Amino acid sequence: MAYSDTSVYIHLIHNDASKGGDDTIRIRKNYETNEFEIIYRDQNNGEPITHEVTGLYRARVIDYLYMLFKNQALDEEGYKSVQLTLPALPRIIVSGDKFKDLYYREHFLEAVGSGLDLLDNTEAVKKVPSVRRFSQAYVAPASQYSYETPVGRRSTAPGVRPQHLYFDDGI
């Protein structure tokens, strides 16, 4: 079967290490059926169980996550933290008790919705080219790099009004 190259991951971090580890949820897309599947790995106090739910359309995935996040808000012994990993976006992690606040539940639902959309257009880069670094012993000749601006040289073409960029730090 042809699956999306990337996935949405939800890492449910236990407060107590005796629970056997953290639980994980992976959501990926099956391109042959145009449906999603959810793979939930429950550490089950050291005896892991994997649950696989297939044949889900986007709305059913959102329904599943709505229940997951709402359960987290109600659980007396809920997860310590929840980490969300979306394709092509930085990971976010929040304290598990944040899910008592509707804002956090809705934000995670919106974020996962965006992640589901990104599955169609995001390719995982398997190997990142390394950046060549010079050893400290290597010193480039002074003539190779010049940081002086030639006198009389224009930064814009004649007749073009120079433009300046301003950045607002008060976002």
What pLDDT shows up at residue 46?
A: 83
pTM beyond 0.85: no
pLDDT above 70 (res 164): no
| pLDDT tens readout for residues 30-52 | 999 999 999 999 988 888 999 99
Q: Residue 83 in 3-state DSSP?
A: strand
Phi, psi dihedrals of residue 119, rounded to the nearest 5°: -60, -35
Average pLDDT, the chain: 81
Q: What is the rounded CA–CA span in Å between residue 72 and residue 75?
A: 5
Q: What is the rounded CA–CA span in Å between residue 130 and residue 118?
A: 26
What pLDDT shows up at residue 77?
A: 85
Q: Residue 51 in 3-state DSSP?
A: strand
In the chain, where the domains are located:
8-118
% of the chain at pLDDT higher than 70: 71
User: What amino acid occupies position 20?
Assistant: G
